[in-house]
Amino acid sequence: MAPPTPGNPDFAWMARALELARAGGLRGEVPVGAVIVRDGSVLAESHNRTVERHDPTAHAELVAIRAAARRLGDWRLTDCTLYVTLEPCAQCAGAIVLARIPRLVFGARDPKAGMAGSLDNLVQDPRLNHRVELMDGVLADESSRLLRRFFRARRGKGGQP
Amino acid sequence: MAPPTPGNPDFAWMARALELARAGGLRGEVPVGAVIVRDGSVLAESHNRTVERHDPTAHAELVAIRAAARRLGDWRLTDCTLYVTLEPCAQCAGAIVLARIPRLVFGARDPKAGMAGSLDNLVQDPRLNHRVELMDGVLADESSRLLRRFFRARRGKGGQP
């Protein structure tokens, strides 16, 4: 599906996810941001927090899903849309299915680890007990550029690529 | 590979994971238990906590991985073995890869959602940046029996199957 244009709510929520991604990058986190929206407002949002929390599972999507479920007092995130600047990995795609999130919008594809269409499509796997409506490519160039700049700067400092 | 016999450390650690699974079941959680072992001692352990925490991500493996990383102060769980009574789902298989866990031992296969050999094998996917040594079938019958009894009792009470 063609990505939405400015003025569209999907574009606005992804712009918010990109702001979070940028904020994460400034704190040394891989710059990925996620926002969970329900009834036109933010239920939960996060950037990656793996460095801050010494937590390999603390990808933006997983942190936001946990916060949203805590806020609702329900593990089922029905009627929610999850916006994330980068295609989810296996862990996060699996968590989206576990939480029964009905709709996922992501920005850039991740050809190395993306599991929502690149390597596999776990969020629409007919063998699992939940399938997700999917849109990709929203602010994809901005998201990719942010990630490229982050990794280039990190290599420049002699960190892990 | 043939499952180990009693007296083998893998058998003893899986017996501990089964105790945790049973304790979870008594609290209304799907009875799955996980133990992370390093240098011959427990680094972290948990049963499922999705009901208690209203957290769709709180599978036994994920809770144990987060606790182990917090304890080490490092997101890389090198030199660890993760024991879990049921084959990991996509989320947990993905988390095992993210945490760089070198070895996974599980009990029963999960033909509906298992992603360590049943539906797919995400922990040994050559396209990802980490691959896990894998053993399955350890106390598999005991683990399956526990799960079957739990779901049978829940259906009897009119709960979701």
What are B36-89's pLDDT values in tens digits? 999 999 999 999 999 999 999 999 999 999 999 999 999 999 999 999 999 999
Amino acid at position B134, single letter: L
* Residue ranges of B 71-90 with Cβ closer than 8 A to chain A: 72-77, 89-90
End-to-end CA distance of chain B: 32
Whether residue A157 is predicted with pLDDT greater than 80 in this model: the reply is: no
For chains A and B, CB pairs below 8 A equal 115
Which long-range contacts does A17-20 make (Cβ < 8 Å, 24+ apart)?
Answer: A17/A45, A17/A60, A17/A83, A17/A84, A17/A85, A17/A107, A18/A85, A18/A107, A18/A139, A18/A142, A18/A143, A18/A146, A20/A45, A20/A46, A20/A47, A20/A60
Let me know: does A128 contact B91? Beta carbons within 8 Å.
no
- Rounded CA separation A44/A82 (Å): 9
Q: Kindly state the tokens that stand for A74.
A: 């329900």
Which residues from A are below 8 Å from B98, CB to CB? Answer: 56-57, 59, 89, 91
What is the mean predicted confidence (pLDDT) over B8-14?
A: 95
Which residues from B are below 8 Å from A128, CB to CB? Answer: 90, 113, 119
For the stretch A51-102, pLDDT in tens is 999 999 999 999 999 999 999 999 999 999 999 999 999 999 999 999 999 9
B6 has a chain A CB within 8 A of its CB: no
Q: Counting beta carbons within 10 angstroms of the beta carbon of residue B2, is it exposed (0 to 12), middle (13 to 18) or buried (19 or more)?
A: exposed
Confidence tier at A7 by pLDDT (50, 70, 90): confident
Confidence tier at B2 by pLDDT (50, 70, 90): low
- Positions of B marked active-site: 61
Confidence tier at A106 by pLDDT (50, 70, 90): very high
Q: Kindly state the tokens that stand for A73.
A: 């007092």
**Most distant CA atoms of chain A, gap in Å:** 45
A16: left (phi over 0), alpha (psi -120 to 50) or beta: alpha
For the stretch B99-108, pLDDT in tens is 999 999 999 9
| The predicted structure's pLDDT at residue B1 | 55
| The predicted structure's pLDDT at residue A137 | 97
**Interchain proximity A57–B99, CB inside 8 Å:** yes
Whether residue B161 is predicted with pLDDT greater than 50 in this model: the reply is: no
What is the mean predicted confidence (pLDDT) over B14-40?
A: 98
ipTM: 0.93
pTM of the model: 0.94
Q: Which residue of B has its CA nearest to A118?
A: B127
A115 has a chain B CB within 8 A of its CB: yes
**Interchain proximity A75–B91, CB inside 8 Å:** no
Local structure of A140: helix, strand or coil:
helix
CB within 8 Å of B70: residues ≥ 6 apart: A53, A54, A55
Alpha helix segments (H runs only) across chain B: 9-26, 50-53, 60-72, 90-98, 140-156
CA proximity to A67, closest of A33, A35, A98: A35
